[in-house]
Amino acid sequence: MIVKPRIRGFICTTAHPLGCAAHVDQQIDYVTEHSEASSGAFQNVLVLGCSGGYGLASRIVAGFGCGAATLGVSFEKAPTQSKTASAGWYNNKAFEARAMQQGLYAKTLDGDAFSDAMREQVLETIKADLGQIDLVVYSLASPVRQHPKTEVLHRSSIKPLGEVLEIKTVHVEKGEVSNVALEPATEQEIADTVTVMGGEDWQYWIDALLAADLLAPKAKTVAYTYIGSELTWPIYWEGTLGKAKADLDRASGEIQQKLQSIGGDARVAVLKAIVSQASAAIPVVPLYAALLFQVMKEQGSHEECIEHIDRLFVSQLLTGTSMRLDDSGRIRVDDLELAEPVQAEVKRRWPLVDTENLPQLGDLAGFRADFLKIFGFGIDGVDYDADVDPQRIS
């Protein structure tokens, strides 16, 4: 079949098998050529949410930078003869194929990471194949979670708190800048968002690994968060998602205590805004990101997802590095995004930006290109007019 992007709102319902594989290759090549991660720094790494965005980048740095065996968990859709898989499914296959060529262990378990059944499967796989894990990366981003104890299905909301929020946003496909009025979340919506995106599930994972003695001495775990700029606080950090992320901070402290028994370490790492399946769905963020990317590119400080995670590993996670921690004990690698010259310029442009001047003030084209790349489109060297088998990545 000839695979073209089919965009519906915030998602693309098709993914290009060869494009996704080429996108993974590009990221692996970046790490192979540029990473200063030391080989052997981590032996066995578990990545929860391994198939895209920051989780995939973490798996690539762990595998191809540190030479680690990686076990990944994700929730992706397999292809059929007439339908493409989800992008993450192709990404996993591509990662596994490259890892195998390199002699690196890589196994991916596809299913619901929130379920006890998946936890059990992961524990069994570690026992059988790896022994113990020395780094757990928690990079799940999901709109729903079926609670493993109650079986209740919780849905997260992306809403402000308290009152209606009137704020600027952009329609990514049309490029139209407008004001939207976002209704505040109810107490139930806040609680549900915390249940889905908060820290409880991360705790369940670490509890299960500890109880089964599957964490190596001095094992580390890191979960990812976003804080961002005052411009997005009303919808993010001060909204439902921020509440969930505050709960991740709570969990980090509790996990840290528990890991003392093995001399381990638990941290939340604050990352920069990138385009991912998860972030494209957040109102306001695409407009902010378009301005941010333009300013960071102009000032020479823009980082792609893989560069950012490589910097996290090399400067913060490897043994011997001195971590850049904030008052709450979080690792900060959002320093380039939040640098004063960057934020001052983004804030200057924010009130000025409109539909007409967005192409000058912001990098919406870059945002769109990054969005398409997530689904394997717009990657150099891929023939998008060629007939491809949706069940093969080569």
First to last CA, the chain: 14
Among 205, 226, 313, 377, binds ligand NAD (CB under 6 A): 226
Q: Which residue is nearest to ligand NAD (CB)?
A: 53
112 binds ligand NAD (CB under 6 A): yes
225 binds ligand NAD (CB under 6 A): yes
Size of the site for ligand NAD (CB under 6 A): 29
Q: Compare residues 110 and 216 and give the one whose CB is closer to ligand NAD.
A: 110
Q: Would you list the DSSP string of 17-33? A: HHHHHHHHHHHHHHHHH
Rounded CA gap, 196 and 342, in Å?
32
Q: How far is the CB of 215 from ligand NAD (least distance, A)?
A: 20
Rounded CA gap, 191 and 211, in Å?
28
Stretch that binds ligand NAD, among 21-29, 169-177, 275-283, 360-368 (CB under 6 A): 275-283
Q: Compare residues 136 and 216 and give the one whose CB is closer to ligand NAD.
A: 136
Classified as helix, coil or strand, 184 is coil
199 binds ligand NAD (CB under 6 A): no
- Which residue type occupies 163? E
How many residues are present in the chain?
394
Identify whether the C-beta of residue 109 lies closer than 8 Å to the C-beta of residue 46: no
75 binds ligand NAD (CB under 6 A): yes
252 binds ligand NAD (CB under 6 A): no
DSSP code of 78? P
Is position 236 annotated as part of the catalytic site?
Answer: yes
Range 134-173, binding ligand NAD (CB under 6 A):
139-142
Stretch that binds ligand NAD, among 107-115, 158-166, 202-210, 307-315 (CB under 6 A): 107-115
Q: How far is the CB of 311 from ligand NAD (least distance, A)?
A: 14
Q: Compare residues 18 and 269 and give the one whose CB is closer to ligand NAD.
A: 269
Q: Compare residues 112 and 207 and give the one whose CB is closer to ligand NAD.
A: 112
Q: Compare residues 54 and 237 and give the one whose CB is closer to ligand NAD.
A: 54
221 binds ligand NAD (CB under 6 A): no
Q: How far is the CB of 85 from ligand NAD (least distance, A)?
A: 12
Q: What are the helix (H) ranges across 36-79?
A: 53-60
- Which residue type occupies 89? W
Stretch that binds ligand NAD, among 18-26, 58-66, 205-213, 271-279 (CB under 6 A): 271-279
Range 47-66, binding ligand NAD (CB under 6 A):
49-55
113 binds ligand NAD (CB under 6 A): yes
Provide CB contacts within 8 A for 357, sequence distance 6+. Answer: none
Stretch that binds ligand NAD, among 9-17, 174-182, 273-281, 316-324 (CB under 6 A): 273-281
Cβ burial 290-319 (10 Å sphere, 16+ → b, else e): bbbbbbbeeeeebbbbbbbbbbbbbebbbe
271 binds ligand NAD (CB under 6 A): yes
Classified as helix, coil or strand, 370 is helix
273 binds ligand NAD (CB under 6 A): yes
Identify whether the C-beta of residue 314 lies closer than 8 Å to the C-beta of residue 324: no
Alpha carbons within 13 A on the beta-carbon side of 27: 34
Identify whether the C-beta of residue 12 lies closer than 8 Å to the C-beta of residue 375: yes
Identify whether the C-beta of residue 220 lies closer than 8 Å to the C-beta of residue 134: yes
193 binds ligand NAD (CB under 6 A): no
Q: How far is the CB of 276 from ligand NAD (least distance, A)?
A: 3
Rounded CA gap, 354 and 358, in Å?
6
Q: Compare residues 189 and 370 and give the one whose CB is closer to ligand NAD.
A: 370
Which strand (E) or helix (H) includes residue 46?
Answer: strand 44-48
How many CB atoms lie under 10 A from the CB of residue 151? 8
Q: At what angle do helices 364-374 and 17-34 cross, to 10 degrees?
A: 110
Q: How far is the CB of 16 from ligand NAD (least distance, A)?
A: 17
- Selected catalytic residue, list 30, 90, 236, 288: 236
Which residues are annotated as catalytic? 236
Binding region for ligand NAD (CB under 6 A): 49-55, 73-76, 88, 112-114, 139-142, 224-226, 271, 273-274, 276-279
